[in-house]
Structures are given as structure tokens and as C-alpha cells.
Amino acid sequence: MGKASAAAIASVLAVVCTGCGNWSGFGFRADGAEMPRLKQVLGLKAGMVMADVGAGKGELTFVLAGEVGPSGRVFSTEIDPARLKRLREAVGAARLANVTVVEAQSRETGLPPECCDAIVLRRVYHHLADPAPVNASLLRSLRPGGVLAIIDMPPPFSWLRGSLGVPAQAVVDEIKASGFEPLQLMNDWPGRGPLGSYCAVFRKPVANLRIQ
């Protein structure tokens, strides 16, 4: 397909799907089909330290806070000031003492170094305009052996990227290039109604220890 044709199709999709890119699926539900699989992927248990990057309304944050319990912690990050304000208010109203709300930047998660056992980005990665520095920040924030889960949606055409989604292979290639080890790619991830979704799982390498 020529560049002109691709650009024309993209323009038509932008008009037809005005507002579609802002819909990334139904809100996260603790009793939904995603939760059992997410628990398995992240190895969720009491006492873990998690990060919900791009937390939005905080629905996933609240569920994770319940899973890790009072001995664990959830870092809940947002970049949009209005969403950040509402997130802080919601966490305060729910009296979640094990949740820390973090202001992120466009190229930086805002998370402390090696703070997390696992990090999840749910319907967030396709919004990243410059993913490389964000991926480097994610790597720094994970403890060695920590798990990163990217839940996102494929675009209607493989060459499209942006508000309509991001190809899974692009995510795998970019995260791997930042230093992560790919673990698995699940193309049948639930939680977005009739539309497709996937979960790509990675691990921060554990440094080889040499015995003196």
C-alpha cells in the first residue's frame, strides 16, 4: 500500500472513529474475566509492591491494593492533572493506606528505582508518543526478576499506531530493546467487549552473580 493510500485511509478512520480512540474498553472489574489471568501473570500475593502506570480512574489500583493487602503497596501513576486530582481524591475517600499516587511525566513514570515486584500498563502503551524513555524508566523501577505486563489493543490495520491501538509485535520489540526479557504474548486477553486485546509479559533480567 502506498503512503498516499495509507494516509487517506487513516484520515477516513480518524473521521469515522472520532472519539473511538478515547474508549479503551470497559472499566476494570474485580469479578471480571481479566482478574484471574492477571493474578497469574503478575504472581499477585500479599506483601507485593505493584505499580499501576496510567491508572486513570483507579479501578485497577483499588483491586491491586486489595490483593497485596496492608503489608504491600501499590504505586498509582497518572500524567493528566485533572485525572491525578480525581485519583488522589478517590484514594483518600477509600482510605487506602497502601496506595501511593505518583505524578508521572511524558517520558518518565515517576516511580522510585527498583521499587516494584511487578508493573502493569492497561490500555496505556498506545498513548506513548516516545516509548523508549518510558520503557527505560519502567526497567529502572522494577526489582531484578520483576514482571512487566502490557495490556493493550491491536489497531484496525497493522501499520496504524496511536489512539486506535498499537501492534503487539511493536510492543514486544520496543520493550525487548529496552533490556527486558520477553516471557509470553497472549492474544486472547479479555476485558474489551467484542474487540481484540492482548497482554505482553516481560521480566527484568536478574544479574548473574559470580562466586568469588
Question: What contacts 97, CB < 8 A, 6 or more positions away?
Answer: 70
Q: What is the pLDDT of residue 14?
A: 41
Task: With a cut of 50, list the residues of the chain below it in pLDDT.
Answer: 1-25, 208-212
Q: What is the pLDDT of residue 10?
A: 42
Q: What is the pLDDT of residue 156?
A: 84
CB distance 100 to 92 below 8 Å: no
Q: What is the pLDDT of residue 211?
A: 44
**What digits encode the pLDDT tens for the residues 68-95?**
999 999 999 999 999 999 999 999 999 9
Residue 200: strand pairing partners: 150, 185
Nearest by Cα to 121 from 204, 199, 64: 199
Q: What is the pLDDT of residue 23?
A: 40
Residue 206 burial (10 A CB sphere; 0-12, 13-18, 19+): exposed
